[in-house]
Amino acid sequence: MSQFINALNDFIWGPPLIILMLGTGLYFTIGSKFFQIRYFNYIMKQTLGKIFKKQDENNAEGVLSPLEAVSTAIGGSVGFGNIAGVATAIAMGGPGATLWMWITAFLGMILKQVEVTLAVYYR
């Protein structure tokens, strides 16, 4: 039984998952008319542009500043495994690994946007 589970695990976490993630990201990128490119300036202004600005109207209790929101999101997403994984990929794959990480990140942006949109819609 454990051999079957290991074989299934190796199959699922191999090429089918890569194809599914890249294909879905490409599907949503084209379907949204390249949302992550069209709204890049707006996204940067709303996140990095407002991180260090003091906002008087949002000083109410329970309201996060943009810096706190970005810090929480990054802290929840990036961990030691991601840092070690990137270092290992570059060490083993060289510059080609960096190219594929950029492509995956570009398509992953729209997947995250769709995921958050669905979460807000169905909450």
pLDDT digits (tens, 9 = 90+) for 61-114: 777 777 777 777 777 777 767 778 888 989 998 889 999 888 888 998 899 889
What's the token pair of residue 91?
A: 């060490």
Give CA angle at 53 (50, 56), nearest 5°.
115
Which three-class secondary structure state does DSSP give residue 6? helix
What are the domain boundaries of the chain?
A: 2-53+64-121
Which H or E element spans position 71? helix 66-77
Q: pLDDT tens digits for 11-56?
A: 888 888 889 989 999 999 999 999 989 998 988 888 777 766 666 5
Which residue, chain included where needed, has tokens 């500043």? 65
Q: Check residue 54 and give its pLDDT.
A: 63
What's the token pair of residue 121?
A: 């819609």
Residue 58 has pLDDT above 60, yes or no: no
Beta strands in the chain (DSSP E): none
